[in-house]
Amino acid sequence: MTCYTRHMRILGIETSCDETSVAIVEGGRTVLANVTQSSCLEHAATRGILPEAAARRQLEFMLPVLDAALRTASVTLADIDAIAVTSGPGLIGSLLVGVATARTLAVVHNLPLIGIHHTLGHLSSTWLLPTSERSPATSSSPPQFPVLTLSVSGGHTDLWYRTGHTSGLLLGQTLDDAAGEAFDKGAVLLDLGFPGGPALSRFASGGAPSAIPFPRPLLGAPRENLDFSFSGLKTALRYTLRDRGGLSSLTEQQRRDVAASYQEAICRHLLDRIDRALDRHPESVELHLVGGVSANHRLRELLHEALSRRSSPPLLRLPAEMAYCTDNAAMIAAAGYFLWTDGKVPSAVKADAGARLDTVVTIS
Ligand code: KG4
Ligand code: ZN
């Protein structure tokens, strides 16, 4: 392995969906730049992402975002030690833009190229320091394993018991929709626009979380079960609205109550599984909440409350900045660093829309 006089500096590229992001991260923690441009708001008209439209924006944004990241970090490509890029899963057209850019940079500048599974990026996001903190020596200490991590985004809902960056047990996954998808589909039913998660969360803030008794998913499942299911909640929301004469028959306050109760049901299902996992693994030193849904204020609030009820709770760690919750390249650069230091850099980098996590993480 190459020896560096300073911490290895990785340029990360993330283009798996509708965010074009480039970051420069040193030693897996110090963020010199994390620049993200999103085409998200453009997809509001279609209430969802059109893959071709997202890929066209990726093409347009890629080089300006790369330039902006290098300028922000005050470095040139000659100061970079390796390139890390999200190789999957995601939208193939979007992924190809990032992978082609990363491969070109790696070849032209003779740098190692590290392909990253998107979820490994989210799992690494809690190691990132705030962009204002440039000195790791005086910064907060890095997370300690074993870590219990709930990774909740628009594409996955995974509960992990992690013994290292690239090793651990996958305790539970969603059987149907992801938690973020439940927010997005709920927002469509409530006509709250796109992206749905933040919109539903904002709208719910004026509502009563206990107004509607939504069902508890997988209620009959034994306590050992750590899987998730959200599609029943979405159906219950549809019937709740239908039984009340449709959305237009409700007052604004009633709509807010429905939104708050729906959000509450999603959050409580997530918390129930965290609680079960902590009972199974009380030795977990830290509990991490990552992915787009980790930005949700109610989920954070309920999590703090739940941990305060435990006799010896683990340390709760959230991504240090909101920008590290949703898709960003800093987490990809961090993941690249950890794969490198664990000696697990994949030999080939290829855009793969259906990439499997067990190709990079030992799941036992
Ligand atoms: O991690 P992410 O940016 O992209 C994926 O990997 O999917 O997560 C995006 C998801 C979307 O479903 C979005 O609605 C949800 O995260 N999300 C939220 C919030 N912010 C983003 N869900 C609930 N509350 C939020 N504040
Ligand atoms: Zn993501």
Averaged over successive runs of 10 residues, the pLDDT of the chain (364 residues) comes to 70 96 97 94 79 94 98 98 97 98 98 96 97 74 96 96 94 97 96 92 97 94 94 98 97 98 98 97 98 98 97 96 97 97 90 83 66
Residue 363 is predicted with a pLDDT of 65
Which of ligand 1's atoms lies nearest the C-alpha of 179?
12
How many CB atoms lie under 10 A from the CB of residue 318?
19
DSSP 218: T
Identify the residue whose tokens are 């409530």: 190
Q: Phi and psi dihedrals of 195, rounded to 5?
A: -70, 140
Nearest ligand, measured from the Cα of 152: 1
182 CA distance to ligand 1 middle (Å) = 10
314 CA distance to ligand 1 middle (Å) = 25
Strand order in the sheet with 30-38: 30-38, 19-26, 9-14, 82-88, 113-117
Q: What is the pTM of this model?
A: 0.95
Q: Where are the alpha helices (DSSP H) in 141-222?
A: 179-189, 196-204
Which amino acid appears at position 163 of this protein? T
Q: What lines the ligand 1 site, CB under 6 Å?
A: 153-155, 180-181, 183-184, 195-198, 201, 291-293, 295-296, 326-327
Top mutation candidate among 18, 233, 293 for ligand 1, by most atoms within 8 Å of CB? 293
Residue 356 is predicted with a pLDDT of 87
Describe the chain by its helix, strand, coil percentages, rounded to 5.
45, 20, 35
Nearest ligand, measured from the Cα of 197: 1
Residue 104 is predicted with a pLDDT of 98
CA separation for the pair 48, 185 (Å, rounded)? 10
Top mutation candidate among 43, 153, 262 for ligand 1, by most atoms within 8 Å of CB? 153
Strand order in the sheet with 157-164: 315-317, 286-290, 147-152, 157-164, 167-173, 362-363
Nearest ligand, measured from the Cα of 202: 1
Residue 157 is predicted with a pLDDT of 97
Task: Give 343: exposed, middle or buried? Use CB within 10 Å, 0-12, 13-18, 19+.
Answer: exposed
Which of ligand 1's atoms lies nearest the C-alpha of 327?
3
Residue 150 is predicted with a pLDDT of 98
Identify the residue whose tokens are 């330039």: 67
Task: Give 242: exposed, middle or buried? Use CB within 10 Å, 0-12, 13-18, 19+.
Answer: exposed
Residue 31 is predicted with a pLDDT of 98
Residue 116 is predicted with a pLDDT of 96
246 CA distance to ligand 1 middle (Å) = 26
